[in-house]
Amino acid sequence: MKRIVLLRHAQCEGEGYIGAGSDVHLTRTGRARAVQLSAEIEGLAPAMIYSSPLLRCRETLMPYLEKNQQTLVSYDAALREMEFGSFESLTYEQISRRYPEAQTAWYANQITGRPPGGESLQELHSRVAGFLSRKILKCPAERILICAHGGSLRALICELLAIGLGHHWDFRLERGNLAELHLHDEHIAALSCLNTVSLIDQKDRNA
């Protein structure tokens, strides 16, 4: 059985749709949370870490990796956030003013529709599913940490649970929070916890 822990990067700079086109730093609050997360990752003792290559994910892992330089890390572009195209870094209200027709069309078809110059939910799930088959299902490590973004992590949960992209928005994982799945034989996965600030505390509650 594989223990797979998902970590959404800590609070970062910017507002609105912060996607693959925004390579922003963590805020002061985010950096403080990254230090706290170092202890959580210590408890997991991952044999392998996979991460989005974007700065906000690298900086979230930095406090742990500085103390655990022997840990294997692979930065994979398939774990990047969704591409928001013309909507990148804009708030809902800004998009409504600048691109009202494109916004309406995108919201009306969240699966195959896309922002102008951006990426669809279907395309996001396709690249995440490719990452799972290329990396996770072939990785011999029993304890794996994946640090990525809200969109790519929701896609990972859906793909691991084999429930389809129609359930993408059913899962909530806040910045700096964790989720855990167990991957059993025959690639059957179970979600053991979602959107927790501490797996250590979660373990204590379930004892």
Strands (E), the chain: 2-8, 48-51, 72-75, 143-148, 178-183, 189-196
Q: Is the pLDDT of residue 155 over 80?
A: yes
pLDDT digits (tens, 9 = 90+) for 25-70: 999 999 999 999 999 999 999 999 999 999 999 999 999 999 999 9
> What percentage of residues in the chain have a pLDDT greater than 70?
97
pLDDT digits (tens, 9 = 90+) for 65-96: 999 999 999 999 999 999 999 999 999 999 99
- What average pLDDT score do residues 168-181 get? 97
CATH 3.20.20.80 describes domain 2-84+121-206: no
Q: Is the pLDDT of residue 201 over 70?
A: no
State the sign of the Cα–Cα–Cα–Cα dihedral 141, 30, 153, 102: negative
